[in-house]
């Protein structure tokens, strides 16, 4: 008889655990409080972003996740594009950070220092005036998170050993039993993948855990005319100081000091600006980072204006018409950890706290967690 597991939460972490368990032959039931996933997993750029991860375990995890995304796109039938990424430099110091990164990554991963002409060939959206150079890396890819998450859930739900219970809120876990009101299910293993809703189950565990919440504001621009494409996702200088992957550059601390003087308002709001394009031609832009367990439910227009204002310093589009704006909230560890894996008892595990790297790391982490536990 197959062993059984319950996964609570159908965001990317829950789906990753579900896939890994299913591949080991386990029977899996996924319980999700909403009619379909609506949290941070669908409210992001859709970027699978190895360049943001430092070399070592997390970078390897990102590359494995990338492989699984490509596999799932074929099985579940959603769009994906192996785009690579462009980080643009408009000052000599930013260009020096790129040169140092490229030197440090020799024989480890793709990292190419482009001149302005080479950059323009990669992206017609990149502003060339004043450009000193750009970092081109090949490993990054894009999905439309709304389509990808929903179709992945649909595909997994079509498998013989996986079932979904939608619109069911788990109110209690008692040893090997999971309760939603009067309904009850039993399993050999239980995985709690509740994302930003971490207060609802095991609040005493989280009260003793160095974990916080992050709110980010994002926007989507309309489909660009005449099927115009921007090429790879575009980033500029502020992204260098945001991602741990760039910590290998000795000049990074000096660059951060410059930004603290030049962009104090942006840094206070955690703004670093990026843009990606989905298969339909729409542009996703953002974002900001505000931290706290009590986050303002109302989005601020001044934050959106600051994001768009900085974006216009390095990118030019055919149509800037706004289609929609939103915010997402994700859990983030405050001690520098890339995830929170915690065993409650012999049956129950918490898997959470991937911060803003859920799309990049979850599939690889899901395999690692299941392999470790089983």
Residue range 176-186, pLDDT digits in tens? 999 999 999 99
User: Is 62 a member of any domain?
Assistant: no
User: Is 80 a member of any domain?
Assistant: no
User: Is 311 a member of any domain?
Assistant: yes
For the chain, the residue count is: 374
Residue 356 has pLDDT above 80, yes or no: yes
- pLDDT at res. 1: 56
Q: Is 115 exposed, middle or buried (0-12, 13-18, 19+ CB in 10 A)?
A: exposed
Q: How far apart are CA 126 and CA 114, in angstroms?
A: 13
The two three-digit tokens of residue 365, written as one number: 């982490």
Dihedral class, residue 25 (left if φ above 0, else alpha if ψ from -120 to 50, else beta): left
Q: Are residues 233 and 327 in the same domain?
A: yes
Residue range 204-229, pLDDT digits in tens? 999 999 999 999 999 999 999 999 99
The two three-digit tokens of residue 337, written as one number: 């950890």
Residue range 47-98, pLDDT digits in tens? 999 999 999 999 999 999 999 999 999 999 999 999 999 999 999 999 999 9
Q: Are 11 and 39 in contact (CB under 8 A)?
A: yes
For the chain, what is the domain count? Answer: 2
- pLDDT at res. 2: 78
Q: Are residues 259 and 271 in the same domain?
A: yes
CA distances from 208 to 131, 202, 204, 334 (A): 47, 11, 7, 12
Q: How far apart are CA 3 and CA 15, in angstroms?
A: 18
Name the residue range of residue 225's domain.
90-138+211-333
- pLDDT at res. 105: 96
Q: Are residues 182 and 319 in the same domain?
A: no
Confidence of residue 138 (pLDDT cuts 50, 70, 90): very high
CA 53 to centroid of chain Cα atoms:
12
Residue 144 has pLDDT above 70, yes or no: yes
CATH at residue 289: 3.30.9.10
Residue 301 has pLDDT above 80, yes or no: yes
Confidence of residue 193 (pLDDT cuts 50, 70, 90): very high
Q: Are residues 360 and 308 in the same domain?
A: no
- pLDDT at res. 293: 92
Residue 234 has pLDDT above 90, yes or no: yes
Q: How far apart are CA 183 and CA 33, in angstroms?
A: 13
CA-nearest of 251, 220, 236 to 104 is: 251
3-class DSSP assignment, residue 183? strand
Share above pLDDT 70 across residues of the chain, in percent, rounded to a whole number: 100
Q: Are residues 301 and 353 in the same domain?
A: no
Mean pLDDT, the chain, whole residue set: 97
Q: Are residues 230 and 317 in the same domain?
A: yes
The two three-digit tokens of residue 289, written as one number: 């980072």
Q: Are 110 and 130 in contact (CB under 8 A)?
A: no
For the packed helices 57-76 and 358-373, what is the interaxial angle rounded to 10 degrees? 100
3-class DSSP assignment, residue 134? strand
Q: Are 183 and 166 in contact (CB under 8 A)?
A: no
């Amino acid at each position: 008889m197959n062993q059984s597991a319950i996964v609570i939460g159908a965001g990317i972490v829950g789906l990753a655990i579900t896939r890994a368990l299913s591949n080991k032959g386990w029977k899996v039931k996924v319980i999700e409080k909403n009619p379909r996933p609506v949290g941070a997993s669908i409210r992001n750029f859709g970027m699978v972003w190895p360049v943001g991860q430092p070399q070592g375990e997390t970078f390897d995890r990102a590359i494995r996740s990338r492989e699984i995304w490509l596999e799932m796109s074929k099985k579940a039938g959603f769009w994906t594009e192996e785009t690579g990424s462009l980080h643009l430099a408009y000052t000599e110091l930013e260009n020096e950070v790129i040169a140092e990164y490229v030197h440090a990554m020799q024989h480890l991963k793709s990292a190419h220092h482009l001149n302005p002409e080479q950059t323009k060939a990669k992206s017609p959206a990149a502003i060339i005036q004043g450009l000193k150079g750009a970092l081109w890396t090949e490993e990054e890819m894009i999905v439309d998170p709304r389509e990808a998450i929903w179709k992945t859930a649909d595909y997994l739900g079509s498998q013989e050993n996986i079932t979904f219970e939608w619109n069911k809120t788990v109110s209690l876990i008692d040893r090997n039993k999971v309760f939603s009101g009067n309904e009850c299910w039993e399993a050999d293993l239980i995985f709690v993948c509740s994302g930003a809703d971490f207060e609802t189950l095991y609040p005493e565990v989280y009260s003793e855990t160095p974990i916080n919440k992050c709110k980010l504001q994002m926007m989507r621009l309309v489909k660009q005319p005449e099927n115009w494409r921007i090429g790879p996702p575009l980033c500029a200088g502020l992204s260098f100081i945001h991602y741990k992957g760039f910590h290998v550059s000795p000049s990074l601390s000096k660059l951060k000091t410059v930004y603290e003087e030049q962009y104090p308002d942006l840094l206070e709001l955690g703004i670093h600006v990026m843009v990606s394009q989905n298969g339909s031609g729409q542009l996703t832009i953002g974002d900001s980072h505000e931290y706290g367990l009590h986050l303002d439910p109302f989005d601020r227009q001044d934050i959106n204006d600051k994001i768009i204002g900085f974006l216009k310093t390095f990118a030019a589009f055919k149509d800037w018409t706004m289609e929609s704006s939103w915010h997402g909230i994700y859990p983030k560890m405050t001690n520098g950890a890339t995830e929170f894996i915690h065993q409650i008892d012999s049956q129950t595990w918490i898997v959470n706290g991937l911060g803003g790297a859920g799309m990049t790391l979850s599939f690889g982490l899901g395999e690692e967690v299941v392999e470790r536990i089983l």
